[in-house]
Amino acid sequence: MITFLRNGLTRSCQIACMMLLAVSQVTFADQFDEITQKLLDKDFDVKAAAIDELAVIEDERVRALFEGLTESTVYYIKKTNQIGYYQLDEKSVTFTTLLEGEVIDDLSKRSYKKITTNNALRGQIKLHLAALNILSKEADVRLTAIDSMLKSPDPLLLDILIKAQKIEQNRKVKALIELNIALIHVESENETERNVAYKVLSESLHEAARIKLTEIKDSETQSSENIKFATKALLKIEDKLKYLKFTENVFFGLSAGSVLLLSAIGLAITFGVMGVINMAHGEMIMIGAYTTYVVQLLMPDHIALSIVVAIPTAFLVSGLIGVIIERGIIQFLYGRPLETLLATFGVSLFLQQAVRSIFSALNMPVITPDWMSGSIEINDALSFTFNRLYIIIFALMVFIGLLIILKRTFFGLQMRAVTQNRKMARSMGIRSNWVDAMTFGLGSGIAGIAGVALSTITNVGPDMGQAYIIDSFMVVVFGGVGNLWGTFVAAMSLGVANKFIEPFAGAVLAKIIILVFIIMFIQKRPRGLFALKGRSVEG
């Protein structure tokens, strides 16, 4: 029986290959009905011949029919011999005809019958279905078909793969076809084919290549030469993977550093430039995240645009609240850092409770737009997710924009003047009170922008700001109080260092190690990486 099945599969595959690889494109679309009727025959040889004929018809119904036969959902109506797809719902039976696509609902169970297949026919159908998918006009279909074959490459499809390799234009699909061929040829008795296969496998980073090479290396039946080739190829792959893992860690470290930069850069202004210990800075981030949530509620049909709209909105909302806090509380506490710490801590508790009262204590869902989903696949072992890539770009844009504001605008000039010498700035006609309010509002607004970015990668809840306030202070102190470039370097370096330490020490211990390092560093350089004299508030 097994021999019969094997011979049947081989014969059907040979027929399929000859017909699929024929130079002339023979089309039997007009005979589709006539050929499908042969599937009702009781003789399995007649059915096998019909399947071979259907395999070369350029008709999308063929693929659907083959898939239905493998899933045992193809039936026929006894009286009319109409072939179709049977589907059993909770309350009714639906029968959709193959040719017309007509839906028939009022069928009794005795009026239709399943088209029977055996193991040989199912194997034959699967081979033809694989061949149809490999030679499909749609790249996604070809890619899925080739990728699924890598788990167990079938030598019976070798001719189809070689044909597809010659005509394939898609680089990714062609690489997978080449890998499939190599996985088959690596077992070949032909030395040339085997050497070429080992070269392809040693240059591939796909998991299937590593699995196959490992099997050969650990096999007791393989020749010493094959084991030597496999061992050498695996070492070559491991060297590539180490380099790619390093690159991946750098990317994830930069994305984590960008998050730190976004959360800390506003604090670098309020704490570093103004000398205010703002414990409500995390709540400004939270307000920006909730602003994003509200904007998406108001724009349910424009989620892709909502993030763009949320950026200036969050800046204005958080900035306005920052100005109110500065005018209502902070302006009376300049020069008294401990009191500003206690006052802003109280403000943070008030804002958290206000959010709980308005939105509830549950986390709010912020939808990530489609354009932020997915990833850029560099190769089989390395890919960069779009959301992290956009956060890196966004953080750089915010940082550059803030530098431009501080260095190239009249407001930036006034802020630097007040920072360096408040009395002299006042004597020059600069309204220092107004500059204080706008500076605090700017720092709070940037924190709100950080909340927009963070809302796409973390939970939006009343306590979300508390997760970033300590890290933000660490970045500002480590980089140098009041120095934006120091904040940038500190955020990126700490983000990258944390990602390299995490695999060995774990997430919690990695943060502890970073904290201990910063404490020891500050002992040696109290003013941080880039020393800059902060503002000493005068009366």
Q: Which domains does the chain have, with CATH numbers?
A: 77-114 (no CATH), 141-222 (no CATH), 243-364+385-524 (1.10.3470)
Mean pLDDT of 169-186: 88
Has residue 9 got a pLDDT over 60?
Answer: no
Residue 397 is given by DSSP the state: H
What are the structure tokens assigned to 405, written together?
Answer: 């504001």
DSSP letter (8 states) at residue 97:
E
Tokens encoding 538: 């005068």
Q: How many CB atoms lie within 10 A of CB 177?
A: 24
Separation of first and last alpha carbons in the chain: 100
Question: Are the C-beta atoms of residues 5 and 120 closer than 8 Å to each other?
Answer: yes
Does the structure show a pLDDT above 90 at 19? no
pLDDT on residue 3: 42
pTM of the complete model: 0.72
Distance CA 270, CA 52 (A): 76
Q: How far apart are CA 84 and CA 69, in angstroms?
A: 11
Dist CA 89 CA 150 (whole Å): 35
Q: How far is CA 460 from CA 262, 362, 368, 438, 464, in A?
A: 16, 9, 13, 27, 6
- Residue 25: pLDDT above 80? no
Distance CA 180, CA 157 (A): 10
Residue 477 has pLDDT above 50, yes or no: yes
Residues whose CB is less than 8 angstroms from the CB of residue 514 and which lie 6 or more positions away in sequence, other chains included: 474, 494, 497, 498, 501
Instruction: Name residue, tokens 């470039």.
Output: 485
* pLDDT > 90 fraction of the chain, expressed in percent and rounded: 17
pLDDT (mean) for 424-447:
86
Q: Residue 74 forms beta bridges with which residues?
A: 85
| Tens-place pLDDT, residues 384-405 | 888 889 999 999 999 999 889 8
What order do you get walking across the sheet with 103-104 strand by strand? 103-104, 93-97, 83-88, 74-77, 112-114
State the pLDDT confidence band at 24, using cuts at 50, 70 and 90. Answer: very low
Q: 153, 114 in Cβ contact below 8 A?
A: no
Q: What is the pLDDT of residues 206-254, one digit of tens each?
A: 888 888 888 888 888 888 888 888 888 888 888 888 898 899 999 999 9
Q: What is the dihedral of CA 123, 125, 130, 131, to 10 degrees?
A: 120
| Cβ neighbours around 485 below 10 Å, total | 15
Length of the chain: 539
Per 3-state DSSP, the chain is made up of helix, strand and coil in percentages (nearest 5) of 70, 5, 25
Note the pLDDT tens digit of each residue in 128-140.
Answer: 888 888 888 888 8
